[in-house]
Amino acid sequence: MASIQILDKSFVPYISKEKIQLRIEEIANDINQKFEGKKPIFLAILNGSFMFVSDLFKEITIESEISFVKLISYEGTSSTGTVKKALGLETDLHDRHVIIVEDIVDTGNTMASFIPDLEKSGAATITLVTLLHKPDATVKDVKIDYCGFSIPDKFVVGYGLDYDQLGRNLPEIYQLVD
């Protein structure tokens, strides 16, 4: 398989565009059924999820909204550690069905600090959709409702995911060659 080079690292094709698209259709079908009549709001976590959410949202046929947020880290109290704050969230989420769209759950730290924060918004339900999950790397208890692909604990790029900000434009997912 043709490998690619990004900066100092080599990557090989890992999950094809077609495979991603088929999985997205399955996830979208489930969401369309489950959230019919509930007008969910998709909350896309930037930057990594932009390509995934774009393809996923095209397959959503029910009435729904979308909003884009960027999570920034700031130091919480010693008991909470690093907390993620959402920038760009202007919609009132009270009583709304929120569907978080993430690129990857790795250690789980990001979602483990963001979801409790989101719960304070008074959302009716919070659902987590992630394209990728590295179960062997996850140290936090994060409930994933929809997962595209469960993958080994190896670095991946492409389809929105970056290596040092590069590789996001690749239409499929590549895995690091070690």
> Which residues are catalytic, by number?
106
The one among 57, 68, 149, 155 contacting ligand IMP by CB under 6 A: 155
- The β-bridge relationship of strands 9-15 and 173-176 is antiparallel
Question: Is residue 48 a contact residue for ligand IMP (CB under 6 A)?
Answer: yes
CB of 129 to ligand IMP, least distance (A): 13
Question: Is residue 107 a contact residue for ligand IMP (CB under 6 A)?
Answer: yes
State both tokens at 43: 């909350």
State both tokens at 111: 């979602």
Asked if 47 and 70 touch (Cβ cutoff 8 Å), the reply is yes
Question: Is residue 40 a contact residue for ligand IMP (CB under 6 A)?
Answer: no
**Segment near ligand IMP (CB under 6 A); pick from 19-27, 28-36, 97-105, 118-126:** 97-105
Tell me the per-residue interface mask from 55 to 94 with ligand IMP, x by CB under 6 A, - otherwise.
----------------------------------------
Secondary structure of the chain: what % helix, strand, coil (to 5)? Answer: 20, 35, 40
| Number of helical H runs and strand E runs in the chain | 3, 10
CB of 11 to ligand IMP, least distance (A): 10
Question: Is residue 101 a contact residue for ligand IMP (CB under 6 A)?
Answer: no
- Restricted to residues 158-177, the positions that interact with ligand IMP (CB under 6 A) are 161-162
- The β-bridge relationship of strands 156-157 and 173-176 is antiparallel
Provide the Cα torsion 65, 71, 75, 81; round to 10°.
Answer: 80
